[in-house]
Structure 1
Amino acid sequence: MGVKYLWNILEPVKKEVPITDLKGQTIAVDLSVWICENSGVKAVQGRVVKPHLRALFFRVSNLLQMGVKLVFVVDGEPPEMKWETISSRVNARFSSKGRGRRGGGNPKQRTSRSHFKRFIKECLELLDFLGVPYVQSKGEAEAMCALLNEKGIVDACITEDGDVFLYGGRTVYRNFHVAGKNPVIECYRMSDVTEKLGMSRETLVALALLLGCDYVPKGVQASERHFTDKPAHCSRCHHVGSAQIHKSKGCPQCSGTRPAQLERIQQNASVPA
């Protein structure tokens, strides 16, 4: 879950970049996020025996062929404050109708946790066969990803968890898809968050406490009203509306600016005065 509404707040600095732009980069990947993404797709289940392995294989293969170096990060022991949140999330993804084994705790919860651990083990075995390195975090995977990024060991992180910025991450890729003719990926940079939104790492931590996060799920309830139902903003001209619509139809606030003009606006904005 990360921080509530964080990706909505960061929408103005989102950039869609071609997957090919990742060539030559070293990237840390939050493994558990990829597993959860693909294991919860019911449409695939029944036709593909192990969708999490299939997705991992093709994603890794495509990135390696593009010259991207990968380092996968595995979750360690989560802080006690997050046990309930993580347990609920895992149960929602990996719940089973079967009865659990003997031991403490709810049988359904034990079964869900055992499924998730088995998926992790299978993915690590696949990474071994592919020759792709992975590291075990002492705590949360996104914290290790952020540390590797902050220290310059990796160029970016691939994760869906916005907590990575709170831990010190600099560049984050999300909504990863390799399908399609010209696949793209969303890119968020902390430098853009600071320059364009005026938010520091400490500001994001404060937002997490106010809006709610894995540690404080409810946050300060009255504060979330300010961030709900906010319209999307174009990542190119920063006006109301999506970049895709502006690219095809132009931006009303830019007086009907067409795609070629938007490109020049974006280029001029990136050139220092």
Structure 2
Amino acid sequence: MGNADLRSLAAIADVSFDDVSGVVAVDAHNWLYRYLTTTVKFTSDRVYTTAGGDEVANLVGIVQGLPKFFEHGLTPVFVFDGGVTELKDAEVSERRARREKAEERRQAAEERGDAVEAARLEARTQRLTSVIHETSRGLLDRLDVPIVEAPAEGEAQCAYMNRVGDVDYSGSEDYDTLLFGGPYTLRQLTSSGDPELMDLNATLDEHDITYEQLVDIGMLCGTDFNEGVPGIGPKTALKEVKEHGDLFGVLDARDAHIDFADRIRELFFDPPTTDDYDVDTDLSPDVDAARAYVTDEWEVPAGEVDRGFDRIEEALTQTGLDDWT
């Protein structure tokens, strides 16, 4: 999920939730996956598996995760991925292979009675199923949380909405929001502490580079759409892009090659996005309907989500919006 090498170059500041407010476009797949895996890792599967065998750990994760936004004056807009670009086929195949390998190791751990290791590996096998997609949208709809359907990459749509000023932040753990031109990205939204704020312009200023050069640096290190050039890490990529001007100057100097470099570069500069969305911050959540959806329709024990729903109601009351319920 994005290029972690960029962390060493990105301008990232630890901030307090008191320092941020407004609207955040949340990379839904990224956010859900992190809550899903932590829920799976630390909770018995009996908690989130229906009598029919459907796993809906996402519902527990959403109810646990949403209060953080409301309690800190942030309005979330959840942006779901659309179709996967063909340039990402290799990354998708690699992720599938990693899940399959983790499943094999999980089964082996289960057979030898190592429950802790089995639970840890179980988290690595998770994927966003059709039921997870359906139920996530169903719960968010009842809570009146805006949803945007991206035509392709969710983080690209988040970055676009931030860039045109329709939201104040992108919300993602994926460093690719930088490469997609997102001005401000809130990270660590699924952690127990305060977030990090990743600033695109501060990153460019700190290294005296252009946005286009940042994309080139990312491609040299490797992205979801291409393998990096062997022997090039972020510091070397920065040095050589500044020395040779751009990606192609570095490739020529090294006699190296990146497949589909022009197309990948253009994908970061001008990704498929949509303007077909409505960022409505005047929310009217039906908490009672949301509770019933989770506990009655999808059979999650009330004790697993009561505190989360209580926190949502408390946050709405504290902000003077107790009429939301």
Give the TM-score of the pair, scaled to structure 1. Answer: 0.68
Structure 1 pair 121/200, CA: closer, same or farther in 2 (3 Å)?
Answer: farther
Q: Report what 1:220 is aligned to.
A: 229
Q: Tell me the CA shift for residue 59 of structure 1.
A: 2.0
Q: Report what 2:217 is aligned to.
A: 207
Check if 1:171 corresponds to 2:171: no
Unmatched 5+ residue regions in structure 1? 98-111, 229-273
Match of 1:53 among 51, 54, 59: 59
Q: Report what 2:18 is aligned to.
A: 20
Unmatched 5+ residue regions in structure 2? 49-55, 105-124, 238-325
Check if 1:35 corresponds to 2:32: yes
In the alignment, the residues of structure 1 paired with residue 230 and residue 15 of structure 2 have an alpha-carbon distance, to the nearest angstrom, of 35
Pick which of 119-128 and 145-154 moved more.
Answer: 119-128
Structure with more helix by fraction? 2
2:195 alignment partner, SS class: strand
Structure 1 pair 80/153, CA: closer, same or farther in 2 (3 Å)?
Answer: same
Pick which of 43-52 and 157-166 moved more.
Answer: 43-52
Structure 1 pair 166/196, CA: closer, same or farther in 2 (3 Å)?
Answer: same
What percentage of residue pairs aligned between the two structures are identical? Answer: 26
What amino acid maps onto 1:137 in structure 2? A
Structure 1 pair 66/90, CA: closer, same or farther in 2 (3 Å)?
Answer: farther
Structure 1 pair 20/57, CA: closer, same or farther in 2 (3 Å)?
Answer: farther
Q: Tell me the CA shift for residue 114 of structure 1.
A: 7.6
In the alignment, the residues of structure 2 paired with residue 16 and residue 127 of structure 1 have an alpha-carbon distance, to the nearest angstrom, of 29
Alpha carbons 2:23, 2:169 under 8 Å: kept:
yes
Q: Report what 2:204 is aligned to.
A: 194
Q: Report what 2:112 is aligned to.
A: none
Alpha carbons 1:35, 1:119 under 8 Å: kept:
no
Structure 1 pair 19/225, CA: closer, same or farther in 2 (3 Å)?
Answer: closer
Over residues 65-114 of structure 1, what are the superposed CA-to-partner deviations in whole Å (9 max), with x where a residue is unaligned?
332111110000011010231243256458768xxxxxxxxxxxxxx898
Structure 1 pair 167/152, CA: closer, same or farther in 2 (3 Å)?
Answer: same
Structure 1 pair 19/89, CA: closer, same or farther in 2 (3 Å)?
Answer: farther
Query: Paired residues, what number?
Result: 207
Alpha carbons 2:33, 2:128 under 8 Å: kept:
no
Q: Report what 1:242 is aligned to.
A: none
What CA RMSD, in Å, does the superposition of the two structures yield over aligned residues?
2.6
Structure 1 pair 173/19, CA: closer, same or farther in 2 (3 Å)?
Answer: same
Match of 2:146 among 130, 133, 150: 133
Give the TM-score of the pair, scaled to structure 2. Answer: 0.58
Alpha carbons 2:170, 2:186 under 8 Å: kept:
yes
1:205 alignment partner, SS class: helix
Q: Tell me the CA shift for residue 203 of structure 1.
A: 1.6
Q: Report what 2:76 is aligned to.
A: 70
2:226 alignment partner, SS class: coil
Q: Report what 2:293 is aligned to.
A: none
Q: Tell me the CA shift for residue 136 of structure 1.
A: 0.5
In the alignment, the residues of structure 2 paired with residue 149 and residue 38 of structure 1 have an alpha-carbon distance, to the nearest angstrom, of 23
Over residues 222-250 of structure 1, what are the superposed CA-to-partner deviations in whole Å (9 max), with x where a residue is unaligned?
2128569xxxxxxxxxxxxxxxxxxxxxx
Over residues 188-224 of structure 1, what are the superposed CA-to-partner deviations in whole Å (9 max), with x where a residue is unaligned?
111211222223221221112211111112x111212
In the alignment, the residues of structure 2 paired with residue 20 and residue 56 of structure 1 have an alpha-carbon distance, to the nearest angstrom, of 22
Q: Tell me the CA shift for residue 178 of structure 1.
A: 5.8
Structure 1 pair 20/121, CA: closer, same or farther in 2 (3 Å)?
Answer: farther
Structure 1 pair 210/60, CA: closer, same or farther in 2 (3 Å)?
Answer: same
Q: Report what 2:194 is aligned to.
A: 184
